[in-house]
Structure 1
Amino acid sequence: MYKVFVNEKKLIFSTVPEDIHKKLRYETRATLEIAIDLLENTSCPELNIYGEEIEEIWKDFSQMFKVIEAAGGIVTNQDKEILFIRRLGKWDLAKGKIEKGESLEQAALREITEETGVKELLLEKFLNTTYHIYTERNGEKILKITHWFKVSYEGNEKLVPQLEEGISEVSWKSKNEIIQDVFPMTFRNIKLILENYWSSFK
């Protein structure tokens, strides 16, 4: 199963129909174009495309976009707080594009350090991958694939936002603060990765 966010609306790819608002059986690439149009231009809140050959469907879908891969992390400190950045009024987790020759792990650690100023990082394990679609100013449609890692931090360095990347604030947040302050002002794929992260401890 793949979950993609299109304008903060969920597009689910699955082998069997999901119990959600709108479902389309995959026939041809036109099915994908119809789905994107419904999510971008109507009030349809979520949509499911289903078909037995899900990897072939996903391949067809990916080819409709320029694909950008990124990596980032859920960084926790000794108080079990999570590190957030604030950019353009939205809370987000530190992440960024993978550079040529970098591994996913190297990219995640580099981006976290660049965006937040913290260096004493320990990468623990891979968590999950999120997908979302956006449109560049030139009209080009992008499928961004972000690989997330669990990262721990035991230092006490000063947090330094990467101002040149539009980051205005870096902050440690407790779970309660995340639910009350971050969730109303973040993206659905960030909520998804955090909820999956918390559920792994249950």
Structure 2
Amino acid sequence: MPKKRLAARLLVISPSNRLLLFKVQFQAGVLAGTTYWATPGGKLREEESFEAAAVRELYEETGFETPSVGRCIAHKEFLWQMPEGEHVLAVEHFFAVHTGGEQYSCAQWSDREREAVCEVRWWSSTELAACHEEVFPHDLNNLFVTALLIAQGEP
């Protein structure tokens, strides 16, 4: 059984109901040539909760600040290959965060993020549904719609 990699992922939603995604493109290593769109987020630090990691990752990857991220809207577990080649069991909790605008910042990005992220874009649900590129998770548009319904007070 591979080791677990715990991560918090963020559905960052603008006032115009658009979702922030990063296009990841690996230039070297075992994943060289691999490209996909994904939400901001990342690995939990030692003894950090999923919620605390989500708040931290939100700031580090987008510049948006929030005191809390609310409840987890999705939990996913799947086998994943890391850029160094290691296979892990990815355990990810997804949180929806609504922003006051679309002005994100990459000032806090790590060197690794600067190397791997080749594009940042806000997506509507319609644009995401029509996307022919790889998007992770594969049911991201469903999660996005769920987050929008939750924001409107629907279950």
* TM-score, normalised relative to structure 2: 0.73
Q: Aligned with 1:147: secondary structure? A: strand
CA RMSD of aligned residues (A): 2.6
Match of 2:31 in 1: none
Report how far residue 107 of structure 1 moved: 0.4
- Give runs of ≥4 in structure 1 deviating > 6 Å: none
Match of 2:3 in 1: 66
Amino acid at match of 2:99: Y
CA deviations over 1:53-76 (Å, ceiling 9, x no partner): xxxxxxxxxxx1111100011111
Structure showing the higher strand proportion among its residues = 1
Is 1:132 aligned to 2:78, yes or no?
Answer: yes
Higher relative contact order (CA 8 A, sep 6+): 2
Aligned residues of 2:77 and 2:90 also touching (Cα < 8 A):
yes
Match of 2:45 in 1: 99
Q: CA distance change for structure 1 residues 99 and 180 in 2, over 3 Å: closer, same or farther?
A: same
Match of 2:54 in 1: 108
Structure 1 vs Structure 2: percent identity of aligned residues? 25
Match of 1:75 in 2: 12
Match of 1:173 in 2: 123
Q: CA distance change for structure 1 residues 191 and 96 in 2, over 3 Å: closer, same or farther?
A: same
Is 1:191 aligned to 2:141, yes or no?
Answer: no
Alignment partners' CA distance in 2, 1:67 and 1:104: 14
Amino acid at match of 1:108: A
Report how far residue 124 of structure 1 moved: 3.3
Alignment partners' CA distance in 1, 2:83 and 2:15: 41
CA deviations over 1:76-105 (Å, ceiling 9, x no partner): 111011111111131100110001232211
Segments of structure 1 that go 5 or more residues without pairing to the other structure are 1-63
Amino acid at match of 1:93: T
* TM-score, normalised relative to structure 1: 0.58
